[in-house]
Structure formats: C-alpha cells, structure tokens
Amino acid sequence: MKITTIALNTFKEAKRDRVLYLLFFFVAVCLLFSRFLALLTVGDRVKIIKDVGLASISLFGMLMAILMGTGLVYKEIDKKTIFTLLSKPIHRAEFLLGKFLGLVLTIFIMTVLMTAVFMLILFLHTFAVDWKILLAILYIFFELCLMTAVALLFSTFTTPILASLYSLAFYLIGHLSWSLEMLIKKVKSGAGRVALRVLYTVLPDLENFNFKTEVVHNLPIPGKLLGVSFIYGVVYTAFLLLLAMLVFRRRDFV
C-alpha cells in the first residue's frame, strides 16, 4: 500500500514534467515523418513506416526513462522532500520500489499513447491492423522497464547529468554487446574466449528485446526466444533494483 502511494505520487509528479510532452511531440513528428519518408522510397513503403515508427518509440521511450529516471531519487534528496518521507515508518526499499513503479506506470501510459498514434498512421496507410507490431512494442516496453531500473540505480548515488551519461553508456553497450557473441564464435577456445564469455555475461544485451526486424519483415519468431527474452528482462531488472536498494540502504541524507 505504501509502495502504491509513492508510485501514484511519482506518476503525478512525472505527469507534470514538460520533458514528457516534448518527447511525445517528437515521437508524433517522427511518426508523421515516416509517412513522408515512405513516399520517397521505392519498394515496400509500409515497411519503412513500421521501421521508423518502432525505432522512434524505442528511442524516445528510452530518453523518457533516462531523463526522468535519473532525476527520480536525486530530486527528492536535493529538494529535501525525502526527510519527511523517510521519517515515516517505511523501508527505503519500499520508497525505491514505489519510485520505480511510478515511472514504469508513466512510461506504460506513454507507450500506449505512442502506439495509438503509430497504429493510427499505419492504419490510414494500409487500412489493416498488424497485431504483430504490438509484440515488438511489448518487448520495447520491457527494455524501457530495464532502462528505468538502470536510471534509478545511477540516480541513487550521483547527479542527474552523470546518471544520464552512465545510463546512455549502458544503453549503447547493451545494443552493441551482441557483437561479443559473434566474436566468441570466432576466437579459439582458451583464456581469451573465457574472458570474452565472462564479459558478455556481465554486460547487458538489450538486443534480446529487439524484435523489430522480425515484425517488420514478417519473419517467424520462435516462442522459446520470446520466453528467454522475457525472463532475461525480469531477472536483469530485478538485479538492478536490488543493487539500487543496496546502494540506497546505508546512504546518509545530509
């Protein structure tokens, strides 16, 4: 119940954030732009709209998660609102979880809105509804939840600017780490291969949540892959939240 109260208050606060509306505006512009881009393309125009649309939702969703997530805890400490909050009989873990869920709720609603705009533009072009798109967006949402946890983790111990840079680095590494897997296959077995394997395990692989290509090009998606990706997301997010709680547990609010 305490977590819900904090989450709803976080949602209320996030709703007031102008960044949110600015980003939403840019998504709408990008989605519209995809329609014009399609006109310039030879071949399957629908694919271009889908591709640009999904990429926009993913990119701007990520910016929302980072820009708002990194300020979440920092703002409470900076504005000293945390003093009265934590003087009540609540655990610091409950506070963090409330903050996380509040932002996840905000991002969920934003994703739904972005999806609605996207589906409308797509429908106006094709006069058909492609439900598979929703699957790709669902996994984008899982990735955004993970990114929120990343931003929250950094926001427990550093300023929003640094936390944003760290989160962005995490995002970039997460989308490039799949190349390590390719490299592992090419390296001969030995110490080097083991080191690469360890590195790949520790680093996030956000490509696990990327089903855009499969959806856009109508390729089959194995159920097992969806299951593994889902479990990967849940475990990694839980791990990040646990880490954030550990950092936050003994922090002094001077």
Partner 1 sequence: MGKVLELENVHKAYKLGFILKKKPVLKGVSFHVNEGEIFGYLGPNGAGKTTTIKCILNLIFPDSGRITIFGEDSLRPRARQKVGFLPENPYFYDYLTGREFLAFYADLLGIHGQLREEKIKYFLKLVGMERAADLQLRKYSRGMLQRIGLAQALLNDPALVILDEPMGGLDPIGRKEFRDIIVNLKKEGKTVFLSSHILQDIEMICDRVAIILAGEIINQGYLGDLISEKVLFTEVIIGGVPAAEFSHLGESVSTSGDRVLLKVFEEEKIDRVINLVQQNKGKIISLLPRTETLEDIFVNMVKNQ
* Contact residues: partner 1, CB under 8 A: 1-2, 5-6, 9, 12-13, 16, 79-91, 250, 252-254
Helix (H, G, I), strand (E, B) or coil at 137: helix
**Residue with Cβ nearer partner 1 (131 or 253):** 253
CB nearer to partner 1: pick between 6 and 216: 6
Whether the CB-CB separation of 171 and 240 falls below 8 Å is answered with no
Rounded least distance, CB 177 to partner 1, Å: 32
Minimum CB distance to partner 1 smaller for 93 or for 203: 93
User: 110 near 14, Cβ under 8 Å?
Assistant: no
Of residues 20 and 57, the one with the C-beta less far from partner 1? 20
What is the DSSP secondary-structure string of 76-127?
Answer: HHHTTHHHHHHTSS--HHHHHHHHHHHHHHHHHHHHHHHHHHHHHHHHHHHS
Specify the residue, 224 or 250, whose C-beta has the smaller distance to partner 1: 250
The least CB distance from residue 79 to partner 1, in Å, is 5
Q: For the purposes of burial, counting CB atoms within 10 Å of the CB of 144, is it exposed (0-12), middle (13-18) or buried (19 or more)?
A: buried
| CA distance to 54, 69, 71, 244, per residue, from 153 (Å) | 27, 9, 11, 5
* Nearest approach, Cβ of residue 6 and partner 1 (Å): 7
Q: Which two tokens stand for residue 59?
A: 């990119």
4 vs 126 by CB, closer to partner 1: 4
Give the residue from 239, 245, 254 showing the smallest Cα distance to 91: 245
